[in-house]
Structure 1
Amino acid sequence: MDREVAMGFSGLGAGLRVVVTGGGRGFGRALAVSLGREGAEVFVSARRFAAAEETAQAVRRVGGRAHAFECDLADPVSVREFAEALGEAADAVDVLVNNGAPYLDAGGFLEATDEQVTEVIAAGAAGTVLVTKAVLPLLLRSARPDIVTMVSGCGEYGNHRSDAHEAFYAAKSAQAGFAEVLSKRLRPSGVRVISLYPPDFEDADPLGPGWDEARGTGEALGARSVVDCVRFAIGQPRDCFIKSFYFEQA
């Protein structure tokens, strides 16, 4: 039996309205294209509109519906404008994927500039909170609202294995704490808050010829497997709430 049919993934995205922040490249782009291929209507944001539009075009090429938006998560005004534009494009959304958060590896704690530290924490921590706050009214109009946050292993207590800068660790720890309390407070409203804590993982092109087999080599985690985790979690019946995904790191 086909793996995706066996796991209940076939046609998962059909009819879903999914918002993906940080969707201009990397995992956000891969997830947007994957869900769009299955029939989801995808709303992609990126700091640069051109990057968001490039992903939107990729979604359209695989048969999905897509909309592109500019959103700088470090700028509260940009976040508000994104939410307003999103509200004009859709009267409700089903899934918000908090994926946008700039990575920082400046070669050492003291080597990062104050501006880099501020931007990373502002976008990853405050930006995630502000986007969720702004999009929540649209989610509450859905019969199946999910909030998915790509926290990363850097937000897992005691994790020290990534080469990421300490400011990135700070932003991801803030995301983890936010998701934890949000899950408790939104659950009575029927909103599932799902967090993923993957280690640094291999990326893959969702439009490449090897995407169907694009999983990690050896023991290294691959982007396709992380995409499958998101699809599995949001595809579960409403009485099944997979709160968190934790991964062993090789």
Structure 2
Amino acid sequence: MSLLDGRRSVLFVHAHPDDETISTGALIAEYVARGSRVFLLTCSRGERGEVVAGPLTALAGTNELARERDRELERATGILGITERFWLGEAPARVDGLEARRYRDSGMVWLRPGLAGPADDAASDALSVAPLTEVAADIAALIVRLRPDLVISYDDGGGYGHPDHVRAHDATLAACEATGTSFAEVLEAPRADGEWFDLPGHLGVVTDALRAHASQLTVHGTEIVHSGGQREPIVTSTGLRLHPHTSPA
């Protein structure tokens, strides 16, 4: 059976606001169209994100940027049809009995075009340096609460190497193993042990959701232009690989 078929509910785990739309917006829209309840767990508020030139530029490096990215995420998830969204570290995505905490954006550096690596100034409360066991336990708390049929997040390279993406993958895999939940990794290219989906019918809704993330990107036709000027096509084709260390989907 396809990983798209018969899913009562699906949980997506992403590192920052806008990741859900950039890499999996079409996939989310497809699950919604098939009648699945789609939940989103966002691990950090993207406090260290660069800001596109324009009226929001002054928010860079301020606390207001996190609040703006929260508002942007609210708009984008509404457009995509997501049932409910959560912040990692806040109930119900927090171990019972522990005070709420905030996992901060770790930042990154470009090692070469298309490949990111850890920044050397990540804060002590950043996601990438938080104990893996704590991050995984908080994700597991939400999984136990929601009991999704499938959890989806990055591959083990975090898509393009961002340290927060890598930590989200590692912690999500550990949480799925602990709870006996199926875990699927997002693929950026077809491979023999995965499924590939071409979903051009969702281009319109993904484009609208991308426009909601106005502090981070602009949309030019069928391309995204990031704050640093990098261009990439809007993604409507993507794949999933069921991780062999988790239960069958």
TM class by shorter-chain length? 0.3 to 0.5
- Which TM-score applies when normalising by structure 1? 0.46
Greater share of strand: 2
Higher relative contact order (CA 8 A, sep 6+): 2
- Which TM-score applies when normalising by structure 2? 0.46
Greater share of helix: 1
